[in-house]
Amino acid sequence: MKKIYSYSSLILLIVFGFCKNTTFAGEKDEYKGWKAGVARVAITPEESMWMAGYAARTGPSDGKLHDLWAKCLVLEDAHGNQAVLITMDLLGMPKAISDNIRDRLMEKHGLSRAQIILNSSHTHSGPVLQDALFDIYPLDDIQLKKIEQFTEWLENEIVTLVGKALQSMESARLFSENGVTRFQVNRRNNNESTLFKQADLNGPNDYAVPVIKVEKSNGDLLAVAFGYACHPTVLDINKWSGDYPGFAQIEFERNHPGTTALFFQGAGGNQNPMPRRSIALAKQFGRDLVSAVDRVLEEPMQELAPTIKTAYKEVPLPLDPASLESLKDPAVNPSGYEQRWAKRMLEERAAGKQPQQSYDFPLQMWQLGDQLITTLGGETVVDYAIGLKRIFGYDTFVLGYSNDVMSYIPSAAIIREGGYEGDVSQKVYGLSGKWKQSMEPMIYDGMVELANKLGVEVSDKKYSE
């Protein structure tokens, strides 16, 4: 009997030990938890180059206020599913560069387009990239060569950056919440020169500050990703900087040593920081943003279950190509970039090239636990953030300037109204003409399709009221 008892005890010990270190299906996610990794690389050009964003600049960069950065946050859920957020102090990444980077990440790490967000802060104090907004810059062969070389280097650095973040992964906990700050001003509805006389600001606006907190297993902060929907156009000097998002990240990391701060741009296409045009203001708005983030961190946040769902698609948004008559009309294309754009369009048609009738527009959706994150390409106007939140809930995170920045993305109302965002900006970006109004419902329908694919609840509310 003694031998039988010992044998049985051994079996019980083995079974107990197995149960202690194993969880059943319902407990598995909670037991394994999140993994996260971060990495960064300075992407400040080492030589003087033309700066992106302003057609009025007359010369290249002449120094820096602070470094430009690309940063990467990799998340892995309990099932091994991964999601990669890359934030960059750049005006915007055009399709060719984005496609190259994402293709290489698929080849090297098996990451699909659905798993990767390439978000640009839209700073107007960063470098020009290849094949981006060339009609508005007076570039000579020397500048074009610098841009080509920098773009190639940048692609390599970002691919390497993701690899480093993957290698650094450790156990983590994830939290999310929305904060608020109010220095964005709708530039279509408020006159900057007379703003000081106004008692009220006119909208639409979205003052949300979405925050993702990543904690190490010991409770220390590993990374905090936060966003805002507002142009980084406080500064127009010829020195490299991330503008207010750059100062915000510097301030946050100074206040939280050892933590990586990542800024992502929201749907800020028609939102400007006001007032503008001083370094002190850029620093102030950066501190305002950090204060909003710190308040969120000091209050209870939603802890996210370790699950990742991702989806991606490209929607062919319709364009309305400019007529030959309008291309030849000096009143329509009087000078500068509009004239250069019209000349190029005419040359292309004379060579037999048909004008582009549509553009494949990137839409993306992540669900981290219960936190829904939507991304759109281009310079998305704030109207889309409002519309998406009506459909999916007001705690939804909405990112613009993601994966491909090809033009402003106006609402149907803005297209009807015209102006810079609704008409002229498409020339700035070199498209064949302005967008058709039918683009807006196509974007929302595409997002609903992604939500259905992920099993995300969709509200009965329409995107507009």
pLDDT in tens, the chain (465 residues): 333 334 344 333 333 343 333 333 333 434 489 999 999 999 999 999 999 999 889 999 999 999 999 999 999 999 999 999 999 999 999 999 999 999 999 999 999 999 999 999 999 999 999 988 877 888 899 999 999 999 999 999 999 999 999 999 999 999 999 999 999 999 999 988 888 888 888 889 999 999 999 999 999 999 999 999 999 999 999 999 999 999 999 999 999 999 999 999 999 999 999 999 999 999 999 999 999 999 999 999 999 999 999 999 999 999 999 999 999 887 777 778 888 889 999 999 999 999 999 999 999 999 999 999 999 999 999 999 999 999 999 999 999 999 999 999 999 999 999 999 998 899 889 999 999 999 999 999 999 999 999 999 898 777 776
Helix/strand/coil (H/E/C) assignment for every residue in 309-328? EEEEEEEEEEEEECCHHHHH
Q: Quick one: pLDDT at residue 176?
A: 98
Query: What CA–CA distances, in Å, run from 64 to 44, 86, 244, 301?
Result: 9, 23, 14, 37
Q: What pLDDT, on a 0 to 100 scale, did the predictor assign at position 81?
A: 98
Name every residue whose Cβ is closer than 8 Å to that of residue 401 and which is 6 or more positions away in sequence: 92, 119, 120, 121, 122, 265, 268, 377, 378, 379, 380
User: Do the strands 69-76 and 116-120 form a parallel or antiparallel pair, or are they unpaired?
Assistant: unpaired
- Of the candidates 284, 408, 314, 382, the one whose C-alpha atom is nearest the C-alpha of residue 113 is 314
Pick left, alpha or beta for residue 126 (phi over 0 → left; psi -120 to 50 → alpha; otherwise beta): beta
For residue 409, how many C-alpha atoms fall within 13 Å in the half-sphere facing its CB? 34
Maximal C-alpha separation, the chain: 105
CA torsion angle for 328, 331, 332, 334 (degrees, to 10)? 90
pLDDT on residue 465: 61
Give yes or no for a cis peptide into 210 (omega within 30° of 0): no
Print the SS3 string covering the chain.
CHHHHHHHHHHHHHHHHHHHCCCCCCCHHHHHCEEEEEEEEECCCCCCCCECCCCCCCCCCCCECCCCEEEEEEEECCCCCEEEEEEECCCCCCHHHHHHHHHHHHHHHCCCHHHEEEEECCCCCCECCCCCCHHHCCCCHHHHHHHHHHHHHHHHHHHHHHHHHHHCCEEEEEEEEEEECCCEEECCCCCHHHHHHCCCCCCCCCCEEEEEEEEECCCCEEEEEEEECCCCCCCCCCCECCHHHHHHHHHHHHHCCCCEEEEEECCCCCEEECCCCCHHHHHHHHHHHHHHHHHHHHCCCEECCCCEEEEEEEEEEEEEECCHHHHHCCCCCCCHHHHHHHHHHHHHHHCCCCCCCEEEEEEEEEEECCEEEEEECCEECHHHHHHHHHHHCCCCEEECCECCCCCEECCHHHHHHCHHHHHHHHHHCCCCEEECCCHHHHHHHHHHHHHHHHCCCCCCCCCCC
| pLDDT given at position 21 | 37
Bridge partner list, 64: 240
Q: For the CA atoms of the chain, what is the radius of gyration?
A: 24
**Residue type for position 304:** L
Distance in angstroms between the alpha carbons of the first and the last residue of the chain:
80
Q: How far apart are CA 289 and CA 189, in angstroms?
A: 23
Please say whether the dihedral angle defined by the alpha carbons of residues 445, 449, 454 and 457, taken in this order, is positive or negative.
positive
How far apart, in whole angstroms, are the C-alpha atoms of residue 278 and residue 241?
A: 13
pLDDT of residue 23: 34
Residue 419 has which token pair? 């102006």
Give residue 9's pLDDT.
44
Cβ pair 263, 84 in contact under 8 A: no
Predicted confidence at residue 143, as pLDDT, reads: 94
Burial class (CB in 10 A: 0-12, 13-18, 19+), 426: buried
